[in-house]
Amino acid sequence: MSIPPEIISSSSNPLIKTLRGLERKKVRAETGLFLAEGARLVEQGLDAGWDLDSLVVSTSGAERGFMPALISKAKSGGARVVQVPDRLAGQIARKDNPQAVIGAFRQRHKPLGELDATAQDLWVALYEVRDPGNLGTILRTADCAGISGVVLVNQCCDPYSVEAVRASMGSVFDVEFAHGSIEDFASWSSNAGLSVVAASVKGTARHTEIDMKRGTVILMGNEQAGIPPDVEAECDTLCLIPMRGGADSLNLAQATAIMTYEAWRQRDFS
């Protein structure tokens, strides 16, 4: 007979207070944890081998048919499993209608030098990206297109923020990513034999005219400032995404998707 989950009903419980605090970067940094909402995302993280610290089940979701198997899988991995009233689940998720399941996973921090790149790979690099929604969406796009991984250059927003994890739709568990300085990035891409292609308003060739069939890293810039001139000067190619109409720029996640899928198209979607 399976052991029922621990029941917590007070918002002053230390675990609940910690989980509620994970919306803040300071608490995520102190605990090394982040939240993933929904049974599908939690199972995806477990299947990908991520360490689940604790699993929260709402009272209204406790009787769902999939729950016993998920609880058993979480417990077998050493996670603490608790059941809470719907109001507490809503406080943790900061939503009026929270998912039936919320998982707190342990973060992974891989140095850029540990990313194994070859001269045939296709990567995405993001320079000082600030919007977690953009970052999460780009991770999802990279996952869909089979990109080798995503490099976060200099000070980027937190990929483990609630907004980024939500926008990634679980791809945070499946896409390899690492942080590094611009100097680390330049050394890493050069040593791997990768051509650095940056999307820039200074580009002279359209993105469809750039050869990205060989090893390439697509470098995308900050939402407001783009890529600084000294970094652009170190790139192998600057290209331009054609635009017409009143808008003078594309959303970063959209532009990254356009670049990524063009590179993948050139590789015959293989």
Tokens of 149: 């991984």
* Contact call for residues 129 and 135 (beta carbons, < 8 A): yes
> How many angstroms separate the CA atoms of 192 and 59, rounded?
51
Q: Does domain 6-106 have CATH number 3.30.1330.30?
A: yes
Q: Residues 235, 204: contact at Cβ < 8 Å?
A: no
CATH 3.40.50.300 fits 112-266, yes or no: no
Which of these ranges, 82-96, 203-217, 244-258, has the smallest mean pLDDT?
244-258
Question: Residue 44 is encoded by which pair of tokens?
Answer: 């995806």
- Please provide the size of the chain in residues: 270
170-201, pLDDT tens digit by residue? Answer: 999 999 999 999 999 999 999 999 999 999 98
Q: What is the DSSP string of 49-89?
A: T--EEEEEEEGGGTTSTTHHHHHHHHHHTT-EEEEE-HHHH
Q: pLDDT tens digits, residue range 224-267?
A: 999 999 999 999 999 999 988 777 789 999 999 999 999 999 99
The rounded distance, in Å, linking the Cα atoms of 87 and 95 is 9
Q: What is the dihedral angle through the alpha carbons of 197, 203, 205, 207, rounded to the nearest 10 degrees? A: 50
Q: Phi, psi (5° rounding) for residue 240?
A: -125, 130
As beta bridge partners, residue 151 has 125, 178
Q: Where in the chain is the domain with CATH 3.40.1280.10?
A: 112-266
Radius of gyration, CA atoms only, the chain: 21
Listed in order, the ranges of the chain carrying CATH 3.30.1330.30 are 6-106
> Is residue 57 exposed (0-12), middle (13-18) or buried (19+ Cβ within 10 Å)?
buried
For residue 121, the Cα-to-chain-centroid distance in whole angstroms is: 19
For residue 39, how many other CB atoms are within 10 A of its CB?
20
Quote the tokens at residue 165: 């994890």
Q: In whole angstroms, what is the distance from residue 125 CA to residue 195 CA? A: 12
pLDDT in tens, 35-62: 999 999 999 999 999 999 999 999 999 8
Q: pTM here?
A: 0.94
